[in-house]
């Protein structure tokens, strides 16, 4: 499809701005500082509407169909959340307009933080981090500040071999060296390996809980104990919190720091890659290190509290992705105590899928799972790959699962249905998965040439990387 | 509210199929003592109750429909055309994930490619990424890259950079063992003498803002030439990108990195977030770009399409060897800004920039005439300017009585600027509202 830059006609524009109502002054800026060229489109409002409406139809979202992308929690995004975030009293507020003129904003943030504390067991949360990885970075910075204050030189951090790529990347950004801890045959963290690697120069461990195999580590308490015995900190990557929301609190399991992806567990939309929000919670002894300000309340009302003795500083400008906080607050307030059913039904749906798929597919960690599970490509006939299966699913109108992650499962297919999907949808998915496996046996070319029913066919990634074309240029 | 589709009957069938008796059996891996006995939250609300509860909170805040804003300082009150949210909230855009499956994400990938083009054009750079969190983190990302590229660890930061950005830089620098030194300003502009004094062969980069935090327009050519003399890289942050409708962009002055905040392009102020950080650079630094890049390629039939590319920079491929940890960025905000920039286009953006420039100068001239008020810096400015007042607190209170939100009081962040206020005027401030502002200020003695 043509680019917006290739459409329109000279002299056209798509917006009507107010007339200049003050006397125009010439030469306010010297010519040498003025730009000569501005190669932007010249299109009308309708041109723009048609262009982006058409583009939207080439996209697939949760509203389009089943989106079982593991570790991403692609649940339904309630419409009321969007409406609330666009209310003028939220959307049209300036971050520097002052506390007395922002009491509703601050109250919402205060209440959201309280709810996150209640659900996770942590003492306080910073709502600043803009995404999960940004939350990890915050957590690692807190870890660094904690040991700096204690004047201990700890240079390493442990991560699980099943961890998200963001975990080691966040550690390295703060100057830590990472060491991988193995998973055992059952998919739990290998305790012996952990004990061996948890030495005096190790600041702690980052662990996704439930883990990226979709399992709740049976030894979670023991793991935390091993790290704590060496005075290390345990960080919980909360990307998978959906399974345990309303069911168990990570702080009570022994974790010290945690980020929560509001754009996963608390239903705020992923927006095709953000904006997200990754609030970070800590235990009492770490509160002094949180990014300032926190939102507190005194006799006069809600206020921005900058009085944090050893705050790491700011993670981003102003106070976080506030518009996303409004959506998450609306969701939590609406569900209240019934949030427990979110955890329950996400786990119910995942186990129902797992049980019905493992008859035909290899499920390497064959036990009751949490909100997701991981199949392998073992037994795929005719050199069919996980990629082929994923692309064939697109032909049948489903989004593909997360593939080739976690790295410890060969040809991993990571499936997360979420609680909002119906049994009918799950049954349909099971049926199609089985059908595709049959095709793999009898008509493998159907998978190898997939997808056929999508706006474009399989794209050449090698060409894109070898001859990068990252923008349009005026000829 | 709940959004669960499974009925009681279906739940029973599903449990049976799994081979367990109850949902509790699915949670056996979690020790009993670690399970929540009672959740201390409110009872579920109906949609009508929920709407009222949340709306009531929104009514406790001043907002741009009810107040007249002369406040900027990094977040700007600009016109929001109705068409933008209508298009951006097409659910195929906003309920999608990062485009990992390009065959069903061509809409999103093409918009990102268009956004990359808009930002490259506006900043005068070779290329731009798909977005980062905000202007402050974009600038911090660039700072870290200059450490990697130059293998030097000293960074000079203009004192006239937005304080919010400075705080984020300080934090990221600490974690990365980068030493930051501030460069003083003189008459509102970066002091070249101070820069010359501090700049040396150990300096990885110099970070400045244009127009700077005081609204003043820097002499980029001279500054960047000076920076390059020591093999140092330049990072120019832009927090008010509407200025790029008129001003020659930093890329044309050979800046190495141009970073900034795109909130001005159709994104509501929303108490400071979400906005969208942009990051643009030269071709030679393409391996030092954080986050996603959408690239053009062809499919198996030779048809053109788009795909996420050069992923060997990224965390999901390179893990601890990645150059950044970013995963989720500000995708939908980039979609909004792209749509808004398309509407404005070549003619509209220039017109909008001109409106901001003219109205700000009209306001500054009027205020300057009042007893006790003066324009504090003599430098060229775009849509923000610093006024020395008879008393910043008095001004703020007086204006508030008339439902006018004053500019940013500078004293807290810059103690030497006592009673100085940074005023901002955009196309949203009519002549009438500016005249009212001046009338009220007249009463402050």
Please report the DSSP string for A319-358 in residue order.
TS-HHHHHHHHHHHHHHGGGHHHHHHHHHHHHHHHHHHHT
Q: What are phi and psi of B87, to 5 degrees?
A: -80, -45
Q: For residue range A257-308, what is the model confidence (pLDDT) as tens digits?
A: 999 999 999 999 999 999 999 999 999 999 999 999 999 999 999 999 999 9
Instruction: Tell whether B176 and B263 lie within a shared domain.
Output: yes
> Would you say residue B290 has pLDDT above 80?
yes
Number of domains present in the structure of chain B: 2
* Strand ranges in B40-178 using DSSP code E only, listed in sequence order: 68-69, 127-128, 154-158
CB contact under 8 A, A348 and B15: yes
Residue A475's pLDDT is: 87
pLDDT of residue B221: 97
Cross-chain residue pair B106–A84, CB shorter than 8 Å: no
Asked whether residue B288 falls in the same domain as residue B403, the answer is: no
Q: Which of A13, A56, A456 sits opposite B303 (nearest CB)?
A: A456
- Which positions in chain A touch B274 (Cβ < 8 Å)? 130, 274-275, 321-324
Q: How many Å apart are CA A293 and CA A276, to the nearest integer?
A: 20
Question: Whole-angstrom Cα distance, residue A363 to residue A367?
Answer: 9
Residue B2 has pLDDT above 90, yes or no: no
Residue B445 pLDDT grade (very low, low, confident, very high; cuts 50, 70, 90)? confident
Cβ-nearest to A322 among B95, B273, B335 = B273
Q: Are residues B189 and B260 in the same domain?
A: yes
Residue B240 lies in a domain: yes
CB contact under 8 A, B41 and A339: yes
* Contact assessment for residue A366 and residue A374, using Cβ atoms and an 8 Å cutoff: no
pLDDT in tens, B152-200: 999 999 999 999 999 999 999 999 999 999 999 999 999 999 999 999 9
* DSSP conformation class of A20: P
Residues of B in Cβ contact (< 8 Å) with A90: 58, 61, 63, 270-271
Edge-to-edge order in the sheet of strand B257-261: B127-128, B277-281, B257-261, B233-238, B203-209, B154-158, B179-183
Q: Which of A262, A130, A157 has the alpha carbon at shortest distance from B327?
A: A130
pLDDT in tens, B97-149: 999 999 999 999 999 999 999 999 999 999 999 999 999 999 999 999 999 99
Pair (B322, B362) in one structural domain: no
Among A105, A355, A470, beta carbon nearest to B116: A470
A vs B, Cβ pairs < 8 A, gives: 679
Count Cβ neighbours within 10 Å for each residue of B370-406 and write b for 16 or more, e otherwise. beebebbbebbbbbbbbbbbeebeebbebbbeeebbb
| Cα–Cα distance measured from residue A404 to residue A387, given in angstroms and rounded to the nearest whole number | 8
B103 vs A459: CB contact, 8 Å cut-off? Answer: yes
| 8 A C-beta contact, residue A329 and residue A406 | no
Cα–Cα distances in angstroms (integers) from residue B407 to residues A98, A469, B71, B144, B384, in the given order: 11, 43, 4, 32, 9
Residue B243 lies in a domain: yes
Task: Please indicate whether, in this complex, the C-beta atoms of B106 and A59 are within 8 angstroms of each other.
Answer: yes
For residue A208, what are the CA distances in angstroms to A125, A160, A220, A239?
Answer: 18, 8, 11, 7
* A275 to B91: CB separation less than 8 angstroms, yes or no: no
Query: Between chains, do B110 and A275 touch, taking CB under 8 Å as contact?
Result: no
A116, HSE (Cβ side, Cα atoms, 13 Å): 32
Within this chain, do residues B75 and B139 fall inside the same structural domain, yes or no?
no
Kindly state whether residues B326 and B195 are assigned to the same domain: yes
Q: Are A171 and A140 in contact (CB under 8 A)?
A: yes
Tell whether B359 and B399 lie within a shared domain. yes
B29 and A215 within 8 Å at the Cβ level: the answer is: yes
Whether residues A94 and B5 touch (CB distance < 8 A) is answered with no
Band of residue B313 on the pLDDT scale cut at 50, 70, 90: confident
Looking at residue B312, its pLDDT comes to: 86
Q: Are B334 and B276 in contact (CB under 8 A)?
A: yes
Residue-range definition of the domain harbouring residue B411: 68-80+346-442
Residue B397: pLDDT over 90: yes
Q: Closest CB to A463: pick one of B270, B286, B298.
A: B298
CB contact under 8 A, A421 and B120: no
Q: What residues of B are in contact with residue A271 (Cβ under 8 Å)?
A: 93-94, 96, 330-333, 335
CB–CB of B134/A317 below 8 Å? yes
Pick from B290, B321, B339: which residue ends a domain? B339
| Structural domains in chain A, sorted by start | 81-337 (3.40.640.10), 341-461 (3.90.1150.10)
Q: What is the CATH number of the domain that holds B220?
A: 3.40.640.10
Out of B34, B58, B144, closest to residue A253 by CB? B34
Identify from A109, A253, A272 which residue to disrupt to test chain B contact, counting B C-beta atoms within 10 A and taking the largest count.
Answer: A272
Give ∠ CA A391-A397-A401 in degrees, rounded to 5: 50
- Where helices occur in A150-219 by DSSP H, the ranges are 166-173, 191-197
H runs (alpha helix) in A45-149? 45-57, 79-85, 88-91, 103-120, 132-149
Q: Which of B41, B241, B262, B351 to mutate to test the interface with A (most CBs of A within 10 A)?
A: B41
Contact A56 B299 (CB under 8 A): no
Q: Which residue is closest to B352 within chain A, CA to CA? A: A17
Give the pLDDT band of residue B315 (cuts 50, 70, 90): confident
B318: pLDDT confidence band, cut at 50, 70 and 90?
Answer: confident
Residue B248 within a domain: yes
**Residue B419 domain flag:** yes
Residues of B in Cβ contact (< 8 Å) with A34: 246-248
Q: Same domain, yes or no, for B160 and B186? A: yes
**Residue B7 burial (CB count, 10 A):** 11
List the single residue in B120, B326, B350 with the smallest CB-CB distance to A38.
B350
Task: Find which of A68, A81, A92 to mutate to test the B interface (most B CBs within 10 Å of its CB).
Answer: A92
Does B1 have pLDDT greater than 80? no
* Structural domain contains residue B320: yes
Identify the closest residue of chain A to B292 by CA–CA distance: A273
According to DSSP, the residues that pair with A69 across neighbouring strands are A415
Residues of chain A scoring pLDDT < 50: none
ipTM over 0.95: yes
pLDDT band of residue B316 (cuts 50, 70, 90) is confident
A120 contacts on B by Cβ (under 8 Å): none
Mind listing the pLDDT tens digit for each residue in B80-92?
Answer: 999 999 999 999 9
d(CA A77, CA A472): 34
Spell out which residues of chain A touch residue B31, defining contact as CB-CB under 8 Å.
221
Q: Between chains, do A29 and B380 touch, taking CB under 8 Å as contact?
A: yes
How many angstroms away from the CA of A416 is the closest CA of chain B? Answer: 14
User: Do residue B175 and residue B278 come from a single domain?
Assistant: yes
Distance from CA of B198 to the nearest CA of A (A): 25
CB of B350 within 8 A of CB of A195?
Answer: no
Q: Test A85 with B176 for CB contact under 8 angstroms.
A: no
B221 and B297 assigned to the same domain: yes
The verdict on residue B146 lying in a domain is yes
CB contact under 8 A, A400 and B101: yes
Q: Are residues B328 and A103, on separate chains, in Cβ contact within 8 Å?
A: no
Is the Cβ–Cβ distance between A174 and A134 less than 8 Å? no
B243 and B387 in a single domain? The answer is no
Share of chain B above pLDDT 90, in %: 97
The residue-averaged pLDDT of B318-327 equals: 89
Tell me which residue in A3, A136, A368 faces B325 most closely, judged by beta carbons: A136
In this prediction, residue A119 carries a pLDDT of: 98
With CB atoms and an 8 Å threshold, state whether B130 touches A1: no
Same-domain check for residues B204 and B304: yes
**Helix or strand run (H / E) with residue B195:** helix B192-198
Distance of CA B301 to the CA centre of its chain: 39
CA distance B308 to chain A (A): 8
Q: Kindly report the CATH number assigned to the domain that includes residue B72.
A: 3.90.1150.10
Inform me whether the pLDDT recorded for B246 exceeds 90: yes
Domain boundary residue among B312, B339, B366? B339
Record: contact B103-A170, CB cut-off 8 A: no
Domain boundary among B321, B339, B357: B339
- Residues of B with Cβ-Cβ distance to A171 under 8 angstroms: 320
Residue contact B270–A84, C-beta within 8 A: no
State if pTM tops 0.80: yes
Of A118, A330, A351, the CB nearest to B40: A118
Report the half-sphere exposure of B339 (CA within 13 A, side-chain side): 32
Does residue B41 belong to any structural domain of this protein?
Answer: no
Strand partners, A248: B35
């Amino acid at each position: 499809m043509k680019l917006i830059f290739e459409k329109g006609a000279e002299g056209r524009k798509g917006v009507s701005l107010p007339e200049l109502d003050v006397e125009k002054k010439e030469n306010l800026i010297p010519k040498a500082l003025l730009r000569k060229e501005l190669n932007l489109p010249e299109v009308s409002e309708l041109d723009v509407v048609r262009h982006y409406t058409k583009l939207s139809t080439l996209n697939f979202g949760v509203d389009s169909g089943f989106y079982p992308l593991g570790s991403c929690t692609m649940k339904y995004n309630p419409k009321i959340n969007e409406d609330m975030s666009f209310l003028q009293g939220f959307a049209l507020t300036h971050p520097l307009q002052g506390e007395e003129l922002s009491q509703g904003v601050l109250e919402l943030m205060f209440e959201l933080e309280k709810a996150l504390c209640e659900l996770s067991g942590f003492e306080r949360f910073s709502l600043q981090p803009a995404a999960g990885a940004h939350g990890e970075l915050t957590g690692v910075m807190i870890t660094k500040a904690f040991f700096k204050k204690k004047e201990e030189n700890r240079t390493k951090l442990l991560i699980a071999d099943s961890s998200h790529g963001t975990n080691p990347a966040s550690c390295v950004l703060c100057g830590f060296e990472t060491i991988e801890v193995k998973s055992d045959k059952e998919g739990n963290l290998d305790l012996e390996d952990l004990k061996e690697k948890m030495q005096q120069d190790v600041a702690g461990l980052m662990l996704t809980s439930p883990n990226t195999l979709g399992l709740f580590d049976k030894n979670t308490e023991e793991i935390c104990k091993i790290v704590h015995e060496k005075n290390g900190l345990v960080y919980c990557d909360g990307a998978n919190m959906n399974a345990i929301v309303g069911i168990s609190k990570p702080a009570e399991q022994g974790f010290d720091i945690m980020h929560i992806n509001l754009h996963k567990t608390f239903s705020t939309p992923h927006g095709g890659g953000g904006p997200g929000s990754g609030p970070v919670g800590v235990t009492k002894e770490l509160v002094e290190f949180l990014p300032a300000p926190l939102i507190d309340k005194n006799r006069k009302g809600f206020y921005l509290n900058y009085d944090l003795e050893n705050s790491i500083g700011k993670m981003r400008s102003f106070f976080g992705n506030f518009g996303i906080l409004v959506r998450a607050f609306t969701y939590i307030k609406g569900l209240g105590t019934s949030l427990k059913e979110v955890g329950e039904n996400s786990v119910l749906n995942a186990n129902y899928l797992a049980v019905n798929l493992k008859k035909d597919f290899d499920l390497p960690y064959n036990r009751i799972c949490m909100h997701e599970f991981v199949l392998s490509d073992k037994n795929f006939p005719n050199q069919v790959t996980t990629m082929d299966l994923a692309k064939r699913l697109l032909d049948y109108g489903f989004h593909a699962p997360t593939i080739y992650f976690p790295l410890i499962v060969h040809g991993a297919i990571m499936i997360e249905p979420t609680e909002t999907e119906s049994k009918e949808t799950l049954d349909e998915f099971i049926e199609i998965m089985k059908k595709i496996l049959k095709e793999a046996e009898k008509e493998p070319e159907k998978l190898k040439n997939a997808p056929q029913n999508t706006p474009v066919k399989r794209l050449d990634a090698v060409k894109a990387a070898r001859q990068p074309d990252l923008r349009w240029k005026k000829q | 509210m709940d959004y669960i589709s499974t009925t009681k009957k279906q739940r029973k069938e599903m449990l049976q199929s799994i081979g367990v008796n109850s949902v509790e059996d699915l949670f056996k891996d979690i020790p009993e003592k670690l399970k929540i006995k009672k959740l201390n939250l409110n009872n579920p609300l109906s949609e009508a109750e929920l709407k009222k509860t949340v709306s009531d909170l929104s009514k406790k805040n001043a907002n741009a429909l009810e107040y007249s804003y002369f406040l900027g300082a990094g977040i700007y009150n600009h016109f929001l055309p109705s068409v933008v949210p209508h298009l951006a909230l097409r659910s195929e855009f906003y309920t999608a994930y990062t485009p990992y499956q390009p065959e069903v994400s061509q809409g999103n990938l093409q918009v990102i490619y268009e956004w990359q083009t808009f930002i490259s054009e506006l900043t005068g750079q070779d290329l731009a990424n798909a977005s980062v969190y905000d202007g402050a983190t974009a600038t911090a990302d660039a700072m870290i890259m200059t450490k990697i590229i130059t293998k030097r660890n000293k960074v000079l930061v203009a004192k006239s950079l937005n304080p919010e950005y400075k705080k984020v830089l300080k934090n990221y620098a600490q974690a990365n063992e980068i030493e930051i030194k501030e460069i003083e300003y003189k008459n509102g502009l970066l002091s070249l003498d101070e820069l010359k004094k501090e700049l040396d062969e150990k300096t990885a980069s110099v970070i400045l803002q244009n127009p700077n935090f005081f609204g003043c327009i820097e002499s980029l050519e001279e500054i960047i030439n000076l920076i390059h003399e020591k093999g140092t890289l330049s990072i120019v942050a832009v927090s008010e990108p509407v200025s790029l409708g008129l001003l020659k962009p930093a890329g044309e002055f050979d800046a190495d990195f141009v970073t900034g905040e795109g909130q001005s392009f159709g994104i509501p102020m929303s108490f400071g977030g979400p906005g969208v950080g942009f990051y643009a650079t030269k071709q030679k630094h393409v391996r030092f770009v954080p986050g996603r890049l959408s690239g053009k390629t062809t499919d198996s039939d030779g048809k053109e399409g788009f795909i996420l590319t050069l992923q060997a920079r990224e965390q999901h491929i390179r893990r601890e060897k990645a150059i950044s940890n970013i995963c989720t960025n500000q995708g939908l905000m980039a979609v909004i800004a792209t749509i808004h920039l398309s509407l404005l286009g070549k003619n509209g953006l220039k017109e909008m920039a001109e409106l901001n420039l003219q109205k700000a100068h009209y306001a500054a001239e009027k205020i300057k005439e009042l007893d006790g008020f003066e324009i504090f810096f003599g430098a060229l400015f775009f849509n923000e300017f610093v006024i020395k007042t008879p008393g910043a607190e008095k001004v703020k209170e007086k204006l508030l009585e008339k439902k006018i939100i004053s500019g940013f009081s500078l004293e807290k962040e810059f103690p030497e600027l006592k009673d100085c206020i940074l005023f901002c005027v955009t196309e949203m401030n009519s002549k009438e509202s500016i005249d009212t502002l001046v009338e009220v200020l007249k009463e402050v003695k």
